[in-house]
Amino acid sequence: MDASNVFISQALGIFILTMSLGFAIQPQHYKTAFQELMGQPSLKLIVSVIPLIIGTLLVLTHQHWDDRWDIFIGVLCWIIFIKGVSRVLLPKNSDKTILKCLDKPEYMRMSIGVGLLLGLLLCYHGFFRAI
């Protein structure tokens, strides 16, 4: 595995795992925070730009498409980039999606489960499989 893919796996794995654990441990805290964020357009714009910046850097950094794991990392980088673009260009659609997830406990549980699995998978590949 290429060094940049190891780094991306480690960084995204830690981030996604930490956020998913935070949502699992204190869901009401994050639900309240996101609901308050929806009412502050200037702060929402700043928060929307962050995935665009990170996604752009990831897409530009990830240049290897040699095996399945490289392809998986590349697709993940592009998803983050597209999510950032959509938040900047279509903020109302992003708001609806976030609020729908927050209002439905089954969506929240599914998101947490997927996040935990994805975070663990990325950490495993980044920290243990890369050795």
Share of the chain above pLDDT 70, in %: 98
With a cut of 90, say whether residue 38 has pLDDT above it: no
Helix-strand-coil split of the chain, %, nearest 5: 90, 0, 10
Q: pTM value? A: 0.86
Instruction: Say if residues 16 and 117 touch (Cβ distance below 8 Å).
Output: no
Q: DSSP label at 124? A: I
Over the stretch 40-83, which tens digit does the pLDDT of each residue have? 888 888 888 999 999 999 999 988 888 898 899 999 999 999 99
Q: DSSP label at 130? A: T
Spatial separation of the C-alpha atoms in residues 38 and 107, rounded to whole Å: 19
